[in-house]
Amino acid sequence: METPETLFQLVACYSPSGAEGPVVEVLVERMRTLGFGRAFVDEAGNAVGVLGEGPRQILLLGHIDTVAGEIPPRVEDGILYGRGAVDAKGPLACMVDAAAGLGPLPGWQVVVIGAVDEERDSLGARHVARLYRPDYAIVGEPSGWERVTLGYKGVAWAAVTVRRLMSHTASGQESACEAGVAVWNRIAAWAGDFNAGRGRAFERVLPTLRGLDSGEDGFEQWTRLRIGVRLPPDLPPAAWYAELKRLIGEVELEPLGHSLPAYAAGKNTPLVRAFLASIRAAGGKPGFVFKTGTADLNVVGPAWGCPLAVYGPGDSELDHTPDEHLSLDEYARAVVVLGGVLRQVCGE
């Protein structure tokens, strides 16, 4: 099978977060070649392509950055290997090719955006969340060509620092390291209680200890824990930070980065119904997915308030792995499905 040009061009240009400039230019030029009426780089550094000039708007938002770790692209037995093939240049290229394959749709403006910085603080998505107010939106992430993702968990990060005065190792006094371990054990125990009876991972709180270091200066010793947590819909970041503060008491707490609440899109919308019909028309058996990670959906969903869905080819189990790869047959099927969705939604 011939490698789709849009997909290969994006995957061939390594673009970890913070270094997306060259691949953004590649995508803008590719969209111009494919007949997008306008294609440009916006103020945040996102690649933007626009088809049509109608009064209604459907926005296809993918991300063009990847995690670090370059994987030289290669094609073997109909499989494209390369960083971003799954997360998420495959879904983004699928959006570009599906939109270009249809051309301008009467009464509609189709906007395709390759957003920067999704793997860090979603600066690209935060920019477009303020700038656009679409009638419908599709976020590009790997769901598998037969499935539609409707929700992502929230996320929050914090640094917790435990301090103790220096004491002799024979004194029997609790060290900062021991106190840090005790703090983590309290958090883990609380999470176990919170999750009791919650069957789905999407409904559970999932804390992880992502960093642990310690030191001393001759007078004081300290231990610093870097804690991440995936949040269910009924535990927004503010409530989590309040609970964390209660659990750790007088220990220092510093929220880190941008926290995001969980977000779940509605099932019974014209957009989702169009996906189900298009997947069936392509010979698939559609299903729904709720992810335990976080995506740009969490940023734009609350801001736009329109019908949304997440779709794209690829197995999300391969996200961020050294074996990241995408079936070209699956990619082709996803382009057909997405084209069918655009026809249905924009033909209403």
pLDDT at 62 over 90: yes
User: Which pLDDT score, from 0 to 100, does residue 217 have?
Assistant: 81
Q: Considering the chain, what is the average pLDDT of its residues?
A: 94
pLDDT at 170 over 60: no
Q: How confident is the model at residue 171 (pLDDT cuts 50, 70, 90)?
A: low
Is the domain spanning 154-260 CATH 3.30.70.360? The answer is: yes
DSSP code, position 175: P
pLDDT at 173 over 80: no
How do the domains of the chain map onto residue ranges?
5-152+262-346, 154-260
User: Which pLDDT score, from 0 to 100, does residue 219 have?
Assistant: 81
User: Which pLDDT score, from 0 to 100, does residue 169 have?
Assistant: 55
Distance between CA atoms of 15 and 24, rounded to whole angstroms?
A: 9
CA dihedral 76, 78, 81, 83 (to 10 degrees): 160
pLDDT at 168 over 60: no
User: Which pLDDT score, from 0 to 100, does residue 3 have?
Assistant: 72
User: Which pLDDT score, from 0 to 100, does residue 85 have?
Assistant: 97
Tokens standing for residue 285: 């058996």
User: Which pLDDT score, from 0 to 100, does residue 172 have?
Assistant: 58
User: Which pLDDT score, from 0 to 100, does residue 347 have?
Assistant: 84
Verify whether residue 65 is a known catalytic residue.
Answer: yes
User: Which pLDDT score, from 0 to 100, does residue 68 have?
Assistant: 96
| Per annotation, catalytic residue among 20, 65, 87, 146 | 65
Tokens standing for residue 252: 């220092």
User: 11-23 pLDDT, tens per residue?
Assistant: 999 999 999 999 9
Question: What superfamily in CATH does domain 5-152+262-346 come from?
Answer: Zn peptidases (3.40.630.10)
User: 276-325 pLDDT, tens per residue?
Assistant: 999 999 999 999 999 988 999 999 999 999 999 999 999 999 999 999 99
User: 131-161 pLDDT, tens per residue?
Assistant: 999 999 999 999 999 999 999 999 999 999 9
Verify whether residue 217 is a known catalytic residue.
Answer: no
Whole-prediction pTM: 0.91
| Per annotation, catalytic residue among 20, 97, 118, 296 | 118
Q: In whole angstroms, how far apart are CA 280 and each of 146, 182, 276, 327, 340?
A: 8, 52, 6, 20, 11
Helix 176-195 to helix 237-248 angle (10° resolution) is 130
Q: How confident is the model at residue 1 (pLDDT cuts 50, 70, 90)?
A: low
Q: What mean pLDDT is predicted for residues 1-6?
A: 81
- 60, 140 Cβ separation under 8 angstroms: yes
pLDDT at 188 over 60: yes
CA quadruple 18, 19, 22, 23: dihedral sign? negative
Q: Do 5-152+262-346 and 154-260 share a fold?
A: no
Which residue is listed with tokens 């609380």? 190
Query: How many C-beta atoms surround the C-beta of residue 254 within 10 A?
Result: 11
User: Which pLDDT score, from 0 to 100, does residue 167 have?
Assistant: 63
Residue 262 CB-density burial (10 A; 0-12 exposed, 13-18 middle, 19+ buried): buried
User: 193-249 pLDDT, tens per residue?
Assistant: 999 999 899 999 999 999 999 888 878 899 999 999 999 999 999 999 999 999 998
pLDDT at 165 over 80: no
User: 331-340 pLDDT, tens per residue?
Assistant: 999 999 999 9
